[in-house]
Amino acid sequence: MLYIKKPSVYSVFDELIYKILNEGDDVETEFGEPTKEIRNTIIEITNPNLKKVPEKYPLGKKAVDDYINHLLYGSKNEFSYDYHQRLFKYPYKDEEINQIEYIINKLNQQKNSRRALAITWNPKIDIEVSKDERGSVPCLQYIQFLIRNNNLYMTVLFRSNDAFLAFPANALGLIELGHLVAKKTNTKFKSYLHHAVSMHIYIERDKDMLKKSGFL
Write down the pLDDT at residue 85: 94
pTM of the model: 0.96
CATH number of the domain where residue 92 is located = 3.30.572.10
- Nearest Cα to Cα of residue 171 among 86, 54, 76, 38: 54
Given a contact cutoff of 8 angstroms between Cβ atoms, the answer to whether 142 and 117 are in contact is: yes
Spans in the chain with pLDDT lower than 50: none
Instruction: For residue 204, give the DSSP letter.
Output: T
- Catalytic residue, candidates 20, 64, 137, 139: 139
Distance, in Å, from the CA atom of 166 to the CA atom of 170, rounded to the nearest integer, reads 6
Given a contact cutoff of 8 angstroms between Cβ atoms, the answer to whether 167 and 53 are in contact is: no
Write down the pLDDT at residue 78: 55
Distance, in Å, from the CA atom of 43 to the CA atom of 28, rounded to the nearest integer, reads 24
Write down the pLDDT at residue 48: 98
Please provide residue 148's backbone torsions phi and psi, each rounded to the nearest 5 degrees.
Answer: -135, 125
Own/partner pairs for 74-77, CB < 8 Å, 24+ apart? Answer: none
Structural domain count, the chain? 1
22 lies in which domain range? 2-212
* Tens of pLDDT, residues 139-197: 999 999 999 999 999 999 999 999 999 999 999 999 999 999 999 999 999 999 999 99
Write down the pLDDT at residue 79: 54
> Is 54 a residue of the active site?
no
